[in-house]
Amino acid sequence: MVLGSGLLLDVPLVELAARFRRLYLVDMVHLPRVRRLAAAFPGVSLLELDVTGTATGLCALGRRQRPVERGELEALFSCPVALPGLESADWVASVNLFSQLPLLPLEAASRLCPAAGETDLLRWQQQILVRHLDWLRQRPACLLADAVQTLRRANGEREVMDYSPWLEVLGPPGAAWSWLLVDEAESGDGSRVEHEVRAWCW
């Protein structure tokens, strides 16, 4: 089972489909290009699912006619992740998903709960990330994660998003490499975006 299969740019679909009797590609949305590629392999299935386990709860809170209380979001983000249909996989790969997990839930949380402050959002971010790691560690898995994201501006300024403190619980990675996501020519303003990627298998 591949979590965060996306556009299959980082997923060796041919090799995985040959190795496993059943291969499930899991993401929030599968675009037509991905559906066409997957259809060529009888053992490949697509699942559209929020692996943070928060989408259903956030949608239910959003349908209410009053602002959401911090305690309601605290309860949502702190409960263990339950992902029906994913629990029995023989092997799970989380692919370049880790740093993206909090983005949509926290955007929704800040919109639904105007009283939520920066401290609340940081705590909920941590809970989302830790829950993902806890879920993965309960089964044979592989994690490819952006440990550090760096934006280098043309004027020399740097903006760094460091996710490595949450990943320390896994111990030293089995592999690590630098990934130049956007270079100066692509950005159009002379900036570049670099990711430090780390990988674990257990």
Q: What are 14-72's pLDDT values in tens digits?
A: 999 999 999 999 999 999 999 999 999 999 999 998 999 899 899 999 888 788 899 99
Residue 86 has pLDDT above 90, yes or no: no
Domain ranges across the chain: 50-145
Over its C-alpha atoms, the chain yields an Rg (Å, rounded) of: 18
Residue 88 has pLDDT above 90, yes or no: no
What are the tens digits of pLDDT across the range 163-200?
999 999 999 999 999 988 888 888 888 899 999 999 99
Percent of the chain having pLDDT more than 70?
99
Question: The pTM is what?
Answer: 0.88
What are the tens digits of pLDDT across the range 122-134?
999 999 999 999 9
Q: Which residue is it, tokens 């259809």?
A: 39
> How confident is the model at residue 66, as a pLDDT?
81
Mean pLDDT (whole number) for 88-104:
92
Residue 82 has pLDDT above 80, yes or no: no
Confidence of residue 83 (pLDDT cuts 50, 70, 90): confident
> How confident is the model at residue 125, as a pLDDT?
94
What are the tens digits of pLDDT across the range 135-155?
999 999 999 999 999 999 988
> How confident is the model at residue 140, as a pLDDT?
94
> How confident is the model at residue 40, as a pLDDT?
96
Residue bearing the bigger pLDDT, 47 or 89: 47
CA distance 11 to 95: 8
> How confident is the model at residue 186, as a pLDDT?
84
Query: In the structure encoding, which two tokens stand for residue 156, read together?
Result: 């020399």
Residue 108 has pLDDT above 80, yes or no: yes
